[in-house]
């Protein structure tokens, strides 16, 4: 017997409340303020939000689930947050590697983009990236590319959460050929997605080395008019720092501050060349930073001072970047592992960044870096129901002594079994439910052939 008092709250038998989903009996790693872990825990979900998290017995006594998901033998975690990527570039994955960034950009990627990138390309690339990211437990990603409105449509169809940045760059892009067009396109894009629960539209001025002061300021002004974040690459290579010192007489971070861009709505990818004064500015202004260890190593661009940034109060998330030319996959669990190891080897200190810190960067600190910590990043009542189940019934998953070490150093993206985003199950027992995976894989292979042909590689 069930009595509905108001539309959203029903009282079930024995004083129990009805909920849509209970994920039951897993090791629940909440990433909440106390970093609580429930060895035999459950999560209750109603609509797109978490209603309660706690010991299984408590949740079972209080809630009656329309849908019960057995999580025994699994870790239950907040979904991973990929803080920086360019999803349609999945279709350029492995196009040409092991070259300098300059050669890769000018000889391969810019010609490949000029000849191939259109709305259809972007849609198929986004579908491929959504499949890959969901499989690896990513529930939210931040993107910077072209035709971002089409990326938003595909992201929403896949049921993923996205902070999606339309690129501003001072040369004709595949979608918009002038700054006026970029501004008009982006304003329409921002208006369209206002208030959407999954999609956060944003302007993404590429960087200080590809955007004039005016382009940067116009993009920021537009972001602030619509309360959107600003996505940008910051201090990602030595040359950027050197040129900024020469031209602006200050570091890239100081320059962005001087021209009024730095603020609590900015998401800065990389932040490799940031000195102590820069780190103070980033922390003081509430800027979110995203560390991309695979990319930084693959392009040999440098080592971001992550431990120093964390110690200085900067919110530092994790990203895959790429996925072409600077990583080649979208597996955020690999970045957790590499973030810890890169910090350790670069300082010759195994204590430089520990497993727990690296897991924080992929979850709650990743949410802080995207300025979305009130919504996502931990399993807590009131937050969005973005959660993943990772199998502990794999040879690389047992035995388990320390949960964070297991996540960082032993488990793989492919161990992710089930993914829930905003209360919707998008992957169950390794089966994708929102994406026609065979069609996407076939199309990606076809695109590979067309791209090769367009560059005279066949
Ligand atoms: Zn990037």
What is the 380 CA–ligand 1 centroid distance (Å)? 31
pLDDT digits (tens, 9 = 90+) for 219-236: 999 999 999 999 999 999
**The two three-digit tokens of residue 201, written as one number:** 């539209």
What is the 268 CA–ligand 1 centroid distance (Å)? 10
Q: What is the pLDDT of residue 3?
A: 43
pLDDT at 10 over 60: no
pLDDT digits (tens, 9 = 90+) for 321-351: 989 888 999 999 999 999 999 999 999 999 9
What is the 236 CA–ligand 1 centroid distance (Å)? 9
Which H/E stretch holds residue 161? strand 161-168
What is the 260 CA–ligand 1 centroid distance (Å)? 22
What is the 394 CA–ligand 1 centroid distance (Å)? 33
The pLDDT > 90 percentage for the chain reads 91
pLDDT at 375 over 60: yes
pLDDT digits (tens, 9 = 90+) for 270-285: 999 999 999 999 999 9
Which of 370, 388, 422, 454 is closest to 108 using CA atoms? Answer: 454
pLDDT at 1 over 80: no
What is the 267 CA–ligand 1 centroid distance (Å)? 12
What is the 85 CA–ligand 1 centroid distance (Å)? 6
Average pLDDT, the chain: 95
pLDDT at 14 over 70: no
What is the 34 CA–ligand 1 centroid distance (Å)? 33
pLDDT at 302 over 80: yes
CA dihedral 198, 200, 201, 202 (to 10 degrees): -160
Which of 301, 295, 289 is closest to 323 using CA atoms? Answer: 295
Over range 193-214, report the average pLDDT: 97
How many Cα atoms sit within 13 Å of 272 on the Cβ side? 22
Q: What is the pLDDT of residue 5?
A: 44
Over range 28-56, report the average pLDDT: 98
**The two three-digit tokens of residue 339, written as one number:** 């973030």
What is the 322 CA–ligand 1 centroid distance (Å)? 6
What is the 346 CA–ligand 1 centroid distance (Å)? 22
pLDDT at 400 over 90: yes
What is the 14 CA–ligand 1 centroid distance (Å)? 53
Q: What is the pLDDT of residue 9?
A: 47
Which H/E stretch holds residue 49? strand 49-55
What is the 307 CA–ligand 1 centroid distance (Å)? 21
What is the 97 CA–ligand 1 centroid distance (Å)? 16
What is the 52 CA–ligand 1 centroid distance (Å)? 37
- Kindly report the pTM of this predicted structure: 0.96
What is the 86 CA–ligand 1 centroid distance (Å)? 7
The pLDDT > 70 percentage for the chain reads 97
What is the 345 CA–ligand 1 centroid distance (Å)? 24
Over range 104-118, report the average pLDDT: 89
Q: What is the pLDDT of residue 17?
A: 96
* Burial class for 242, CB neighbours closer than 10 Å (0-12, 13-18, 19+): exposed
Over range 453-458, report the average pLDDT: 87
Per-residue pLDDT band at 110 (split at 50, 70, 90): confident
Q: What is the pLDDT of residue 13?
A: 57
Over range 48-76, report the average pLDDT: 97
Residues 6 or more apart whose CB falls under 8 angstroms from that of 351 comprise 344
């Amino acid at each position: 017997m069930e009595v509905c008092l108001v539309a959203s709250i029903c009282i079930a038998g024995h004083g129990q409340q009805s909920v849509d989903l209970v994920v039951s009996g897993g090791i629940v790693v909440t990433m909440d303020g106390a970093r609580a872990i429930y060895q035999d825990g459950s999560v209750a979900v109603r609509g797109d939000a978490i209603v309660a998290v706690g010991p299984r017995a408590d949740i079972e006594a209080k809630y009656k689930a329309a849908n019960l998901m057995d999580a025994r033998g699994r870790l239950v975690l907040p979904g991973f947050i990929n803080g920086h990527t360019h999803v349609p570039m999945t279709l350029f994955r492995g196009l040409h590697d092991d070259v300098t960034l300059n050669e890769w950009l000018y000889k391969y990627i810019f010609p490949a983009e000029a000849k191939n990138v259109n709305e259809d390309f972007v849609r198929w690339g986004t579908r491929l990236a959504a499949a890959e990211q969901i499989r690896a437990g990513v529930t939210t990603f931040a993107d910077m590319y072209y035709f971002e409105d089409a990326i938003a449509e595909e992201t929403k169809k896949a049921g993923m959460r996205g902070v999606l940045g339309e690129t501003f760059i001072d040369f004709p892009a595949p979608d918009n050929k002038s700054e006026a067009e970029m501004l008009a396109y982006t304003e329409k894009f921002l208006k369209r997605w206002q208030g959407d629960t999954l999609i956060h539209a944003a302007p993404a001025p590429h960087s200080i080395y590809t955007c004039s002061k005016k382009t940067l300021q116009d993009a920021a002004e537009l972001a602030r008019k619509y309360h959107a974040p600003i996505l940008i690459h910051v201090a990602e290579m030595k040359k950027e720092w050197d040129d900024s010192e020469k031209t602006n007489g200050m570091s890239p971070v100081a320059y962005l501050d001087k021209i009024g861009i730095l603020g609590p709505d900015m998401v800065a990818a990389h932040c490799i060349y940031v000195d102590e004064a820069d780190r103070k500015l980033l922390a003081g202004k509430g800027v979110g930073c995203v560390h991309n260890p695979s990319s930084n190593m693959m392009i040999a661009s440098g080592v971001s001072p992550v431990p120093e940034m964390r110690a200085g109060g900067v919110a530092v998330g994790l990203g895959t970047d790429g996925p072409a030319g600077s990583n080649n996959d979208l597996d955020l669990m690999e970045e957790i592992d590499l973030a810890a190891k890169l910090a350790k080897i670069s300082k010759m200190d195994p204590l430089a960044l520990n497993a727990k810190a690296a897991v924080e960067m992929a979850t709650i600190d990743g949410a802080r870096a995207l300025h979305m910590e009130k919504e996502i990043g931990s399993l807590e009542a009131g937050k969005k129901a973005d959660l993943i189940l990772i199998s502990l019934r794999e040879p690389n998953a047992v035995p388990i002594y320390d949960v964070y070490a297991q996540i960082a150093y032993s488990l793989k993206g492919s161990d992710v079994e089930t993914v829930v985003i905003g209360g919707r199950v998008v992957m169950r027992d390794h089966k994708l439910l929102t994406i026609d995976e065979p069609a996407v894989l076939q199309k990606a292979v076809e695109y590979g052939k067309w791209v090769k042909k367009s560059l005279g590689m066949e």
